[in-house]
Structure 1
Amino acid sequence: MRTRRRGGGVASGSPTALTAVIAALLVVLGAASAPLAGAGEPDAVPFVQIRVDRVTPEVVTTSSAPVVTVAGTVRNVGDRPVRDVMVRLEQAGAVASSAGLRTNLTGTNDQYRPVGAFTTVSAELQRGQETRFSLSAPLRSASQPALSIDRPGIYPLLVNVNGTPDYGEPARLDDARFLLPVTGLPRTGAESDPPAGAVPPDTSHPVGITMLWPLADRPRLMPGAAGGTVPVRLIDDDLAASLAPGGRLDALLSAAEFAGSAAVEGGGAVNRALCLAVDPDLLVTVNAMTGGYVVADSPDSLTSHPGTGQAAATAWLERLRRVARDSCVAATPYAQADLDTLARVGDPGLDAIAVSRPAEVVDRILRVSSTRGAVLLSDGRLTAGAAEMIGAQGDAVVITGGDCAAHDSGSGVAATADLTPRRLSPQLVAAPYDPAVGAALAGLGTDPVAPTYLDGSLAIRLQHDSALARRQDALGSMLWRALESPDTPGAPRDEILMPPAYWKPRADDARAVLTTLATALRSGLAVPKPLAAVIEEAAAVTATPEHPLPAGQPVGGFGPEIVSAVAGDVDRLWRLTAALTTDTRTGMTGEAYTAPLAEDMLRALSQSEPTDVRNQVATERLGIVGHAVGDLIGAVTIVNPAGTYTLATEHSPLPLALRNDLAVPVRVRLRVDAPPGMTVADVGELELPPGYLPLRVPVEVRVNQHFVVDVALQTPDGLSLGESVRLSVHSNAYGMVLFLITMTATAVLIALTGRRLWHRFRGQPDRADLDRPRPPDPDRAT
C-alpha cells in the first residue's frame, strides 16, 4: 500500500517503493532544470495552455477607453495537477519591421517587459480543469503599472502563465501572444494621473490600399464527365453548408455586402479599395447547383443521392451578382491551379484556360465586366517558369507575395518587405504584397494555414494561438504599414492586402477585417486604390528585380509524376478535340464536350488542398481523368465482325460498320493494312456522327485466296481510335490467268459455233460430223 504525499514523497514497504522514489526524483530534477518563472520559453512538455478569448478594445483609437483588458482561459493539459497558477501581462515595443509582425509572436521573449505583478487565478488546477482570467492595464499612466504606449503603432502583448506542476518547481508554463493595433491614443483623465490629451495618428502620408476579397472553394465537381452531366455530380455536399446562412462563403459575401452598404461609415471608400477575387471554378459549380445536382455516395461509387444546396446556391449567386454590379471583380486562376506546375507541363491550351479565360467565365455567370490584366497569386511563389508562361498569354500584372525573412541577409536586422512593383519582362510586371501580412490574414478562423510563399523564419505557432489572438495579429498586420513613418517623405506608399483564395475566416473575423479597413480609410491613414489603378500604374514601371525568380516552388509543389500525367493526358485530349465537330442536333461543339476534362486537370493542380495531401489528391483525380480520356478515345471504333467475309469478285467492296459513342461527330480516317494481292481504295476523311455508320470500302483482289486484313481508325492527325480489328476475307477471284483462259475458251467456242452454222446454212456437212454414224433412214423398210 502506497500513499503519495504532496511534494513527491512516498511511503511504502513494498519492493516497488524504490522505483517509485527514483521516478519521482527524476521528475523533480527535470522540472527544476526548466526555466524559472518569467524567464525563457515554456517547458517542452506542456502542463497548461493559455488562450486569449477577448481583447477590449481590439483596435485602440482616439475614441476608445484608455484601458486595455485581456481575458482568457488557462487549461491543464498535462498529466498531473498544477498549483499556484498565476498570470501576468507583458508588452514589447512597437513593431519596427514587417518581419516583426511574425517574429514577436514566437521564439524568445527578451523584448517583453512586465506590466504589473503576477495575479493568482487558481490555487490548483487538476488534469483537464480550466480557469478564467482577466487582466487590465491603462495605455499610459504615471501612478500605476501601464502599457506605457505614447504613440500610435502596433504593439505585441504577451500573457505569461506560471505554475508549479506536481513533483516540480515553479516555472513558466506557457504564454499567449498577440498584436494590439493603436491607431490613436485616447485622452486620459484619471484622478491619480495628470490628464493627457488624445494623440491622433500621422495622416500626412496615407497608404494607397487595395484589398482583394477572395470567394473560392476546393474543387467539388466529380471528375471525368465529358460534356458535363445532367444533373451535375459533386464529390460531396460541403458546398451546400458553405453557401447557406452561417456558412463560410455566406459569411464572406455578407461581409462584402455590409462593407459597401450605407450603414458603414466610409463604405464608399471601402468599396473603391475592395475587389472581389472570384474563382471561376466556384462559379461554374454554384451555377450548376442552381439547376439541381447529385452527390456521389463515395469517390469511386457510381451511385449518388440528391444534393441539398440548390436553394442556397441560387440565393447566394443572386446576392453575388448584385454585389458584383457595383464592385470591382477580378478572376483568380482557374481552380487556383499551381501555375509553376502548369509551366512545367508546357501546354498552351491548359495555360489559356487557367490564366486568360477565367475572366470570360466570371463575366458570363455574374453578368458583369470584370477587371482584366491582373493575375492573382494568393499562394505559392512566382517562379521563373510561371512568369514566362503568364507573359506568353499577354500583358499582365502579377499580384504575388514579396520577399521577406526574419532578418535581412546583409545587415542582420529585421527585414521589411519591399512592395515596389518590378518589371519581369516586356509583358509582365510583379506587384508584390507583404508576405507577413498575407500570412496573418491566412491565419484567421478555426482552420488557420501558413501560405507556402512564407519564409520559414516567419512561421509561428498557428494551432497554439486562439482564434481571437490570430484575429488581433491580422488586424495589426493590416494597419502596420499605415502607422509606420515613411523612410522617404513623399514617397509612394501602396499596399495590397491578399488573403488566400480558399480563405476560412469566421463571420466575425471577416467583418472585423473590413471594419478595420474602413477605420483606416475613415481616419486618413489610408486612401482607396482600385485594382484598375494598380494595373495602370504598373504599366509604366521599368525597374527590374534585384534577385532572380526561383526556379521552382520551395514548398507545396507538385511532383514530376503529376506533371507527366497531365502532359500525357492533355496531349491525347487535344488531339481528340481537334477531330471533333459540332452536333447539329444539340449544338454541342467538340471544344465544349472535352472542356470539363481539361478543367479537371486544373482542379487536380489546385493549391486549395493542404500541402501534405496535394500530390495524393492530384493523383486520384488525374487517375479518373486519364481513364475518361481513354474511354473517349476508345468510344470511336470499328465493329468487330463475326465469321469470314467472302468477296464474290475481285472488285467486291469490303463491308464495315463504324461506331461512335461520343455525343458529337468525329472526323476519322481508315487505316487498312492490306496483304499482297489486295489493293484498298482510300475513302478519305469521314465525319462519323454519333451512332453507327455502315461503310463499303472499295477493294481489288488479284488472286483467289484467304486474306487477313487489319483495319483501324485514327483521327486526321494520326491519333489511334478504339481498337483495330482483324478481318478474315476469302476471295473467289482468279485474277488475270482466269480471265485469259475464259476469254480464249469463249473465242474458240464462238469460232466452232460459227463454222458449224456456216456449213449448215450452205448444206455442207461439217468435218466434225464425218466420224459420226449416219442416222437411220425412216423411209427404208426394216
Structure 2
Amino acid sequence: MTGPHVRLLVAVVALLLAVAPGAAPYVAGAQPGSTEFLQVQIDSVTPDIVTTTSEPLVTVTGEVRNVGDRPVRDVVVRLERAAATATSSELRTDLAGNVDQYQPVADFITVAPEMARGQAVPFRLAYPMRSPDQPSLDIEAPGVYPVMINVNGTPDYGAPARLDDSRFLLPVLGVPPVGGSDASASEALDSAVPPDTTRPVGLTMFWPLADRPRLAAGAPGGTTPVRLIDDVLATSLAPGGRLDTMLSAVDFATGVAVDSGGALTRALCLAVDPDLLVTVNAMTNGYVVNDAADAGPGTPTHQGAGQQAAIDWLARLKTLAQRMCVVPTTYAQADLDALRRVADPGLSAIATNAGDIVDQILGITTIRGVSLVGDGPLTGPAVQLLSDQGPTVAIGAAALTGPGDSGGVAPESADTAPVRYTPNVVAAPFDPAVGAALAGAGTTPESPSYLEPSLDLALKQDSEVARRQDALGALLWRSLNPDIEPRTEILMPPLMWNLTPQDAQSMLTTVATGIRAGLAEPRPLPAVLDEARATARSEPMPAGPLGNPRGRFDDGVVSGIAAVTGRLWGLTAALTTDERTGLTGRQYTAPLREDLLRALSLSVPPDARNGLAQQRLTTVGRTVENLFNAVSIVNPGGSYTLATERSPLPLALRNDLPVPIRVQLDIDAPPGMTVTDMGEIVLPPGYLPLKVPIEVHFTQRVAVDVTLRTADGLPLGEPVRLSVHSNAYGKVLFVITLSAGAVLILLAGRRLWHRFRGQPDRADLDRPDPIEVAMSYRDDEGAGDTTQERRTDPVTRRWK
C-alpha cells in the first residue's frame, strides 16, 4: 500500500488519536475497576453557594494522584453535572453508584501525558453557570445540582477507562446574570434568576455540644480526684480544639454584631450532653488520667492537663446559654432501643430526664418535653421507653428507603410530618438523608446507624471540601424545592460532629443566608413542640430493627447491664446518708449507674460499640462486687467459749463504704441454741462490735454459720463459720439437780422432826443391834487402866 492510500491511512489514525480522549469515557463508561490506579481530590469549589450576586464562573481545583502500581498515560479530566436533586434520597444516591444521570459540561482536558507511580498533578476547571457562546454548566434555575469530576486514563498493560471520579453537591440559591453575551448591563442583570421565596421553610437546627464518655468506669461517688480514660478533652476544650470550635462558631454567629436581628439565634438550639457537662465540671477541680485506656480503679494515673481549658470553656458556655435555647440530649447519648431491652425503669429515667443536671451546672432552665434520640433509629422499643417516662416529643430520623429497598419504584423524599405513636409520644422527624450529609462533613465523617442499608453508601469522598459541599447542599435542599411538603425542617447533625473552623462557619453562614434570602424563616424549638403536639397524625408503633443492624448492641451486653443494674439498685436501697459528710447512698452509687449508660453510648463508632461496652461493663461489675464485699463480718479466726447458757455471742461487723448501710444478720444455729433476732442494724462506716443474745441448751463444741445481708436479702461479704464451745448445763441436768436437792432437804427435815420428838426414825428400824463398845481409860488416881463396858440406849442412842 503506497502513495495516497498510505497518506490517507496515516491521516485517519491521527484523527482517531486526536479524538480518543473525548471518546474514551463512552467506550469505557463502566465503573472504575477494583484496582485503583488514579485518585482525584477536590481542593476548592468557588463559589461554594451560588447566588444571583455571585461571579458567574464556577471554579473547581484539585489534583490527580497516581496511587497504582504502574504508570498511567493520557490522564484527562472533565466536569459533568446532573439534573437538580428532586428527592431527598438522591442526596445520597447521586453521590455514588450509577453515573448515567451525569452529562458533560465540556470536553476532556489533558492533565498529564503520563503519570509515574506516586506522582500528583493539579488541575483547574472553570465554567460559567450559563452562556450562549461557550461551554457552561447550563444551570437555568435554583436548586441543588450534583457535579462530578471524571478522570480517565490508560494504565500500562490496559485500555483507556474511567479510573476515578469525585462528586459533590452545588447549591444554587439564585442564578447569576448571563455572562459572555452582547447584552447590556441592565439586560444582563434582568437575566438573573432569583429563588422562589413564596413558601419559606420553617427552620430549626440543633447545634451539638457532646463528646464520647471520658470518665473512667468503676469510680463511685465521692472519689477524688476524678479519673478520665484519656486526656482528649484537654485538647478538645482548648483553643482550636473540636469542642472549642463548635462553641466559638455558634457564639460568634449568634452575637449581636453578626446576628443583630436574632433570626439565626431563634432558629438554633444547643443540644448539650449532660455527661459532657458532668465531666468538664469535674475537670475544673483537677483530675487524673489513666496510664492505660482500659484500666480500672487503683491503676497508675498521671495528672491531667486540661483544668484551665475546662474552666474557660465552661464559663463561655454558661454565658452563651443565657441567651440561647438549650436542650439536653439523652445521658451519654445512650441507645434507647438497648435501654428498653435492659428493662430497668430507674436506668431509663436517668437517661431521659437529665435536664436537672444541665440546669444545675449551667444555671439555666432547659427546654423540657423533648427527647433527642441521637444517631440511632427511632424504633418501637425506643418509643415505648419514652412513653413510659411521660409526655414528650421525640426528635428522630424519618423512614427513608433507597433504590434497593423500594422494589424498583423510584424512592421518594422522607416524610417529616409529625406523627403520634402513643398518647405520650409524638415524633417530629428529620430527613435522614440530610442528617447523613451533615454527618459526612468534617474531619471524621461517619455514616449514622439510622440509615437504611441501601443509603448507607461508602462514598468515595476523600476530600473535606467535597463533603462540606454535600452538607451545604443538603441544608438548602428543602428550601430550594418549594413543592416539597411539609414546609418545615429540623436539621439534626450528629452529636459527635467534628467540624473544622471553616466547616462550622460555612454551616452557620449557609443557614443564615437561607433565612436572609427568604428561603427559610426561624422556627424556635418551643414552636416545633407545640405544632407537633397539635398537628400529629396517629400512626402505628414503628417496627423494631430486623436482624442485627449495624451498631446494635449484643444481647450479651444488654443482659450483663441488666444484671449489674439490678444488684446496684439493691445495694443503693440499703445505703443511708452519712451525717458527717452529707453523702447519700444514691449519690455514692450514681456514677456507676451513669457508667452503665455510657456503655450504651451511640457516640462510639458502630463497629466498636460492643467491644467498648463490654470493657466498661466488666469494670463496673467488678466494682459493684467489691462494694458488696466491702461490708462483712470480721472473722475471729478462733473459737468462742460460753460461760453460761445465756452468754451473748460476740461479733464485729466491718463497713468500708463511706456511707452507712442497713444490714441484717443471719445465724444458722444448731439444735439446742436459740438466737434472738436483732432486726435491722444500721452499720456506720468503720467497725461495729455486737453482742448477739443467745440461749444454749447443751454442753459441747458446735459450728455456727453467720452471714450478713441487706435489708432486702442481698448477701454481703463472705459468710463466717464460728466455733462455739458451751460449758453450760442444760435443762434436764438442771431439773435433776433441783429434784435431788429437794429430796435431800425433805429427808433431813423428817429426821430432825423425829429426833426432836424422841421417836425413832423409821429409816433406822432395819438397823442391827446396838454395838457394844469397850473403852479404856485411866482413872483419876492413876491406879492404872480400867476397862468398862458401856452400852448405848436403843432409843436415844446415848451412852449409858
Q: Same fold (TM over 0.5)?
A: yes
Q: Write out per-residue CA displacement over residues 504-531 of structure 1, whole angstroms, 9 at most, x where no aligned residue.
A: 1212111110110000111110011111
Identify the range of structure 1 (455-464 vs 128-137) with the bigger mean alpha-carbon deviation: 455-464
The answer (yes or no) to whether the contact 1:62–1:186 under 8 Å persists in 2 is yes
Q: Write out per-residue CA displacement over residues 264-320 of structure 1, whole angstroms, 9 at most, x where no aligned residue.
A: 256611110101101100000000000000001112261100000001011000111
Matched, 1:116 2:113: no
Q: 1:642 aligns with which of 637, 645, 659?
A: 637
Q: 1:409 aligns with which of 406, 409, 423?
A: 406
Q: CA deviation at 1:747?
A: 3.4
State the distance in 2 between where 1:675 and 1:255 align: 75
State the distance in 2 between where 1:405 and 1:343 align: 25
User: What residue in structure 2 maps to residue 585 of structure 1?
Assistant: 580
Q: 1:347 aligns with which of 344, 347, 363?
A: 344
State the distance in 2 between where 1:494 and 1:410 align: 29
User: What residue in structure 1 maps to residue 393 of structure 2?
Assistant: 397
Amino acid in the other structure paired with 2:388: A
Q: 1:742 aligns with which of 733, 737, 743?
A: 737
State the distance in 1 between where 2:611 and 2:180 align: 62
The answer (yes or no) to whether the contact 2:339–2:348 under 8 Å persists in 1 is yes
User: What residue in structure 2 maps to residue 319 of structure 1?
Assistant: 316
Matched, 1:665 2:660: yes
Amino acid in the other structure paired with 1:648: A
Decide whether aligned partners of structure 1 residues 85 and 79 sit closer, same or farther in structure 2, where only a CA change above 3 A counts: same
User: What residue in structure 2 maps to residue 511 of structure 1?
Assistant: 505
User: What residue in structure 2 maps to residue 612 of structure 1?
Assistant: 607
Amino acid in the other structure paired with 2:75: V
State the distance in 1 between where 2:752 and 2:284 align: 93
Q: 1:493 aligns with which of 487, 491, 494?
A: 487
The answer (yes or no) to whether the contact 1:636–1:660 under 8 Å persists in 2 is yes
Amino acid in the other structure paired with 1:118: F
State the distance in 1 between where 2:123 and 2:25 align: 23
- Written as runs of structure 1 = structure 2, the 5 A alignment for 1:328-347 is 328-347=325-344
Amino acid in the other structure paired with 1:705: Q
Decide whether aligned partners of structure 1 residues 296 and 745 sit closer, same or farther in structure 2, where only a CA change above 3 A counts: same
Q: Write out per-residue CA displacement over residues 681-733 of structure 1, whole angstroms, 9 at most, x where no aligned residue.
A: 11111100011111111111111122211111111111111111111111112
Matched, 1:270 2:267: no
DSSP-derived class of the 1:162 partner? strand
Matched, 1:602 2:592: no
Q: CA deviation at 1:38?
A: 6.7
User: What residue in structure 2 maps to residue 134 of structure 1?
Assistant: 124
- Written as runs of structure 1 = structure 2, the 5 A alignment for 1:711-730 is 711-730=706-725
DSSP-derived class of the 1:401 partner? coil
Q: 1:425 aligns with which of 422, 425, 429?
A: 422
Identify the range of structure 1 (46-55 vs 543-552) with the bigger mean alpha-carbon deviation: 543-552
User: What residue in structure 1 maps to residue 37 of structure 2?
Assistant: 47
State the distance in 2 between where 1:243 and 1:777 align: 125
Q: 1:304 aligns with which of 279, 285, 301?
A: 301
Amino acid in the other structure paired with 1:500: P
User: What residue in structure 2 maps to residue 238 of structure 1?
Assistant: 232
Q: 1:456 aligns with which of 437, 453, 456?
A: 453
Q: 1:378 aligns with which of 374, 377, 396?
A: 374
The answer (yes or no) to whether the contact 1:232–1:289 under 8 Å persists in 2 is yes
State the distance in 2 between where 1:129 and 1:674 align: 87
State the distance in 2 between where 1:777 and 1:395 align: 123
Q: CA deviation at 1:35?
A: 6.7
Amino acid in the other structure paired with 2:724: V
For these two proteins, the number of residue pairs brought into alignment is 745
| Structure 2 residue runs without a partner (length 5+) | 1-23, 786-800
Decide whether aligned partners of structure 1 residues 654 and 146 sit closer, same or farther in structure 2, where only a CA change above 3 A counts: same
User: What residue in structure 1 maps to residue 792 of structure 2?
Assistant: none
The answer (yes or no) to whether the contact 1:68–1:139 under 8 Å persists in 2 is yes
In our comparison, the structure showing a higher alpha carbon Rg is 2
Q: Write out per-residue CA displacement over residues 397-416 of structure 1, whole angstroms, 9 at most, x where no aligned residue.
A: 11000111224837711310
Q: 1:97 aligns with which of 55, 63, 87?
A: 87
Q: CA deviation at 1:44?
A: 2.0
User: What residue in structure 2 maps to residue 188 of structure 1?
Assistant: 178
User: What residue in structure 1 maps to residue 212 of structure 2?
Assistant: 218
User: What residue in structure 2 maps to residue 550 of structure 1?
Assistant: 544
Q: CA deviation at 1:736?
A: 1.4
DSSP-derived class of the 2:78 partner? strand
Q: Write out per-residue CA displacement over residues 112-138 of structure 1, whole angstroms, 9 at most, x where no aligned residue.
A: 111111111222221111011110010
Q: 2:444 aligns with which of 439, 444, 447?
A: 447
The answer (yes or no) to whether the contact 1:189–1:196 under 8 Å persists in 2 is no
Matched, 1:282 2:276: yes
Q: CA deviation at 1:779?
A: 9.2
DSSP-derived class of the 2:723 partner? strand
Amino acid in the other structure paired with 1:241: T
User: What residue in structure 2 maps to residue 68 of structure 1?
Assistant: 58
User: What residue in structure 2 maps to residue 17 of structure 1?
Assistant: none
Q: Write out per-residue CA displacement over residues 466-504 of structure 1, whole angstroms, 9 at most, x where no aligned residue.
A: 1100000000001000000225xxx75110000111111
Amino acid in the other structure paired with 1:332: T
State the distance in 2 between where 1:84 and 1:428 align: 61
State the distance in 1 between where 2:106 and 2:607 align: 44
State the distance in 1 between where 2:574 and 2:773 align: 80
State the distance in 2 between where 1:433 and 1:776 align: 136
> C-alpha root-mean-square deviation of aligned residues, in Å?
2.5
Amino acid in the other structure paired with 1:638: I
Matched, 1:260 2:250: no
State the distance in 2 between where 1:65 and 1:475 align: 19
State the distance in 2 between where 1:344 and 1:216 align: 25
| Structure 1 residue runs without a partner (length 5+) | 1-33
TM-score, normalised to structure 2, is 0.89
Q: 2:555 aligns with which of 540, 560, 567?
A: 560
DSSP-derived class of the 2:606 partner? coil
State the distance in 1 between where 2:146 and 2:261 align: 29
Q: 1:539 aligns with which of 533, 543, 566?
A: 533
State the distance in 1 between where 2:78 and 2:739 align: 123
User: What residue in structure 2 maps to residue 682 of structure 1?
Assistant: 677
